[in-house]
Chain A
């Protein structure tokens, strides 16, 4: 699953730590999501979208490989 967290984070001038604090997770979690090592829950995806002031489907995008799993 692709995501634009890094781009949106930069647009808001937020570090991984700052974004992590705003959504109430660890910075390891933000790093893991950005590097596609972890797919967040629906609730966390909505929280991230809310903090980054963007729609969830603009923040996350399915890849072809996601349909094959």
Chain B
């Protein structure tokens, strides 16, 4: 299995955190203002920096794409220590993510749930499910002191 070097985790996080934060704030403002009739939060006002319009619609599309790429780089980077067992846990997490995605799609189709989630968010959600599954598998594979790992 080809994985990126461990330092790419930092690269991925550096791309993901600021871009995801900007999108989260923008999404919260839009969601709040659409849901509330009385009080409105002031929207992020677009402005130009060296010919690039910050906080425009295309700006948010690009930052959403960068955050997904950052998360993907993080997920595809090696852990600090990787061996055959850790790779197996990673594969099990991929299987689990696949089945959860399949069940979610089946649920949406069977119950005719209409959702306006775009493809980029679905990909990000899948990567987050994968990271949670991998972490929980690693934790469950770690010996507790009651099982005497240092015996």
Contact = CB atoms under 8 A, between A and B. Distances in A.
Contact of A16 (B85, B86, B149): B149
Contacts of A6: 151
A13 B43 CA distance: 65
Contacts of B143: 16, 27-28, 31
Interface string A39-65: 011001000000000000000000000
Contacts of A25: 81, 83-85
A37 interface: yes
Nearest to A26: B81
Given A28-B141, A28-B142, A17 B150 contact: yes
A59 B142 CA distance: 23
A39 to B, nearest CB: 10
B88 interface: yes
Contacts, number: 50
Contact of A32 (B81, B85, B150): B85
Contact of A38 (B81, B88, B151): B88
Contacts of A16: 143, 149-151
Interface string A2-24: 00001000100001110000001
A27 B86 contact: no
A35 B149 CA distance: 11
B138 interface: yes
A50 to B, nearest CB: 16
Interface of A: 6, 10, 15-17, 24-29, 31-33, 35, 37-38, 40-41, 44
Interface of B: 81, 83-86, 88, 138, 141-143, 147, 149-151
Given A17-B150, A27-B149, A32-B85, 7 more contacts: A10-B151, A15-B151, A25-B84, A26-B85, A28-B143, A31-B147, A41-B84
